[in-house]
Chains A and B, each alone.
Chain A
């Protein structure tokens, strides 16, 4: 899957071909078993888990229009030399974005292939100059029930928070994304700025980020707070470690009829497995 990690622009721009694939996938679901053809854009923007905008998969596409994505700024702080609040426009001027086609595996057992537009999180973190005491990175989604009506319910503790170990955050596969299919993100996909960690279950890839903090201790994460025995801090995609309520051995690729095998680290083992050598992945799920 190396060749897909950073896809040449020429391939990315060939949207016509993708639309054709999309049509073909919709018409003949089960054929493309082993392929990693990008998921049709229609599917990516209509089938979302984003509880800030409702708990149904079609809720965010219907209701997330209430999110004001500009102007947007991100507060960077904690254990770093250059903390401060950065306007998104300035961030994007400093860190040029590229195309990255990644698999996305939801903890619920479905998956997509998404052509992201973004830049490595490492670029932003390096610019903030982490102190040597920094071991983790904490992320926080916007909290504003007026814009995010789902936050009026207590289905999760708000704001949504996530975290990574510093080496995971600095890994070149880890992105801050602002677009997909060459266009700016829609609110339901986590506009205007979201995390993408392709070897972890989708809920780790926190959306609509307003705050990034370098910390010494492992930060709390929303789903872990909600059900610690079901959702771990690491949440690496792992077909051998089932969720207590369902198997993680297989997944349904959106657009396909039958389920396919789930790959360790979502198929990115070659790039990321070294970060977990000697670690018990069942205990640290």
Chain B
């Protein structure tokens, strides 16, 4: 399973490489800035959802190795969110703090995106082994439960933007997946058995 680490990094880096290639070769539509902002936002949300799916997947499959992926995927989700913000702030707002502030105050969907990003920050900063040790496993886990809030915020951010263009199907699909993954945790905590029958587990 030594391959899991390089494979997962490659998987997460591929969309970014694809985006750079698309922009450089003029394949990113004739509005590459918009294309990049949307692409990065999309992948940030996708990776957040994959991150949320790791624990249920481990419980379903019993494959403990999956857990080593969780922090890594979360960090990549953060990286995409940071680039998403950077593109918006840089190319749309020319790195102006006051313009960013105005956008956050005036536009609920930006405020919600920003809230998701700000909540992601402490998770990214505490994702080293040293930080886990310093915090202690229990409080680290409690802190990282913030992802249960971050993922829905990302969905609302997406939905709110798209509803103006009547394009709500995609955000609703993301929302349903997030809702399912969160519901899983509620049921799991209540002791509802969500494991696969023993005999179907393959290793």
Contact = CB atoms under 8 A, between A and B. Distances in A.
B26 A110 contact: no
A277 B109 CA distance: 34
A156 B106 CA distance: 27
A57 interface: yes
B91 interface: yes
Residue among A57, A108, A245, A257 facing the most chain B CB atoms (10 A cut-off) = A245
B107 interface: yes
B92 A47 contact: no
B181 interface: no
Interface stretch (B44-52, B115-123, B129-137, B160-168): B160-168
B30 A255 contact: yes
Contact of A42 (B30, B34, B107): B30
B161 A46 contact: no
Nearest to B93: A259
A115 B121 CA distance: 48
A43 B30 CA distance: 6
Nearest to B168: A155
Contacts of B103: 247
A34 interface: no
B8 interface: no
A257 B164 contact: no
A243 interface: yes
A227 B31 contact: no
A270 B30 CA distance: 31
A226 interface: yes
Contacts of B139: none
A203 to B, nearest CB: 10
Question: How many of chain B's residues touch chain A, expressed as a range?
Answer: 10 to 19
Given A26-B26, A245-B109, A257-B91, A110 B34 contact: yes
Interface in A146-173: 155-156
A58 B29 contact: yes
Given A245-B109, A259-B92, A254 B164 contact: no
Residue among B30, B106, B160, B167 facing the most chain A CB atoms (10 A cut-off) = B30
A226 B165 CA distance: 9
9 contacts: A26-B26, A57-B29, A110-B31, A155-B166, A226-B166, A242-B106, A246-B107, A257-B91, A258-B94
Contact of B164 (A40, A55, A58, A227): A227
Interface in B87-143: 91-92, 94, 103, 106-107, 109
B57 interface: no
B30 A230 contact: no
Given A242-B106, A245-B107, A245-B160, A254 B30 contact: yes
A252 interface: yes
Interface in A51-75: 51, 55, 57-58
Contact of B30 (A47, A51, A242): A47
B55 to A, nearest CB: 34
